[in-house]
């Protein structure tokens, strides 16, 4: 495949879209940002008043993500599309694939940035995943019918520096310096930092042949709670951490009860339970760096102390 230079991105101001856009610009790609019209509000779209985009972006195009007829000419001339829309925008993914394929785009980076097709997830998580798979399946279908159109999914596992900062439920309350260590604290999982997520997309677009029509496995670190709390304790100057202990079985049971009752919060409970369930390796995207695509994509391996320093610094 010829090289990829001109890239359209959807979701550029988001949690992961911002670092991906910054990484693309740093790497010299010509970037077009697609965004909803200012103040958009409808039953399927929430308003977007806080968006902000880097000045270096080539152009910013306001678009209705569902309008294939208007998106198609706007995407013409782009080599690749990256979709990193938020979870609330899942319904828009299929029209984006249709428009990109019709416009002659060569590579569509589908919206995974999660656990891919993780066979070790709890069965209850399948209903969440299946909504995302619709667009992945559409991209596969389009690629099967058009050899000029290809797709890649970027599986990142836990977005670790961002998640540690944002979700105390993961066991680490960065603001309060309190932690809950589940069971022995030794269950390993893999994560990718925001730096690694940006680099993963850059790596995919720099290696279109090696990454065509598959999910790539990103990782910046393989770690466990004990390693992270040690890093937090040594990285936090002054204020000590208070550590309590919890049981994955209790977390899981609480999440399942909420799921049965239709109460919000069960997804996060189950995500954390499967992260720390001992001996299950439910949240290991790649057991070793060699088993991942990190080398190909140019993602560096980071230490627990580096990751924790990022979580503490924001
Ligand atoms: N691995 C994990 O644990 C993990 C954690 C978080 C997220 N993720 C995944 O990463 C991807 C990106 O998530 P994110 O947190 O970066 O997204 P986000 O910040 O919530 O949203 C990204 C962008 O999507 C657009 N958007 C948001 N809600 C929308 C709606 N209702 N309708 C239309 N457009 C909407 C907005 O762009 P404009 O305003 O410019 O239109 C927004 O800036 C998703 O697939 C998400 O599931 C994975």
Tens digit of each residue's pLDDT (9 = 90 or more) over 233-246: 998 777 899 999 99
Determine the Cα–Cα distance for residues 117 and 30; give it in Å rounded to an integer. Answer: 31
Name the residue with higher pLDDT: 280 or 127: 280
Query: How high does pLDDT run on average in the chain?
Result: 94
Name the 3-class secondary structure at 200. Answer: helix
Of all protein residues, whose CA lies closest to atom 44 belonging to ligand 1?
86
Which domains occur in the chain, in start order? Answer: 6-157+192-217 (3.40.50.720), 160-189+221-285+301-313 (3.90.25)
Beta strands in the chain (DSSP E): 6-10, 30-35, 59-62, 80-83, 107-110, 150-155, 172-173, 178-182, 189-191, 214-217, 221-223, 242-246
CB neighbours of residue 156 within 10 Å: 27
Beta partners for residue 151, in sequence order? 108
Q: Torsion angle of alpha carbons 23, 81, 166, 278, nearest 10°?
A: -100
Residue 41 has pLDDT above 50, yes or no: no
Mean pLDDT over residues 122-127, rounded? 90
Per-residue pLDDT band at 50 (split at 50, 70, 90): low
Question: From residue 194, how far is each of 112, 197, 289 by CA, in Å?
Answer: 14, 5, 18
Within a 13 Å sphere around the CA of 200, how many CA atoms are in the beta-carbon half? Answer: 34
Question: What separation in Å is there between the alpha carbon of 84 and the centre of ligand 1?
Answer: 6
- For the Cβ of 88 lying below 6 angstroms from any atom of ligand 1, the answer is yes
For residue range 275-284, list pLDDT tens digits in order.
Answer: 999 999 999 9
Share of the chain above pLDDT 90, in %: 85
| pLDDT confidence band for 44 (50 / 70 / 90) | very low
Both tokens assigned to 304: 């627990």
Are the beta carbons of 170 and 272 closer than 8 angstroms?
yes
Q: Is the CB of 37 under 6 A from ligand 1?
A: no
Among 10, 14, 33, say which to mutate for ligand 1: greatest number of ligand atoms within 8 Å of CB: 14
């Amino acid at each position: 495949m010829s090289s990829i230079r001109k890239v359209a991105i959807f979701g550029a101001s988001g949690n992961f879209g911002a670092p991906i856009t910054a990484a693309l610009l740093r790497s010299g790609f010509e970037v077009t940002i697609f965004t909803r019209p200012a103040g958009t509000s409808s039953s399927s779209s929430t308003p977007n008043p806080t968006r902000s985009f880097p000045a270096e972006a080539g152009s910013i195009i306001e678009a209705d993500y569902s309008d294939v007829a208007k998106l198609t000419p706007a995407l013409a001339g782009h080599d690749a599309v990256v979709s990193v829309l938020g979870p609330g925008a899942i319904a828009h993914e299929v029209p984006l694939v249709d428009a990109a394929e019709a416009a002659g785009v060569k590579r569509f980076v589908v919206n995974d940035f999660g656990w891919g097709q993780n066979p070790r997830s709890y069965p209850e998580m399948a209903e969440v995943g299946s909504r995302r798979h619709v667009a992945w399946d559409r991209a596969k279908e389009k690629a099967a019918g058009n050899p000029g159109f290809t797709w890649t999914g970027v599986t990142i596992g836990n977005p670790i520096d961002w998640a540690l900062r944002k979700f105390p439920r993961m066991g680490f309350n960065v603001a309060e310096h309190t932690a809950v260590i589940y069971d022995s604290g030794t269950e390993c999982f893999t994560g990718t930092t925001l730096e690694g997520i940006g680099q993963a997309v850059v790596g995919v677009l720099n290696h279109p042949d090696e990454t065509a029509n598959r999910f790539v496995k990103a990782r910046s670190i393989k770690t466990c709670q004990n390693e992270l709390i040690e890093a937090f304790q040594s990285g936090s100057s002054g204020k000590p951490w208070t550590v309590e202990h919890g049981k994955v079985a209790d977390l899981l049971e609480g999440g399942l009860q909420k799921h049965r009752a239709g109460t919000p919060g069960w997804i996060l409970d189950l995500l954390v339970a499967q992260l720390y369930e001992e001996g299950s390796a439910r949240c290991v995207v790649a057991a070793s760096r060699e088993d991942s695509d990190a080398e190909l994509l140019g993602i560096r391996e980071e230490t627990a102390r580096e990751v924790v320093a990022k979580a503490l610094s924001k």
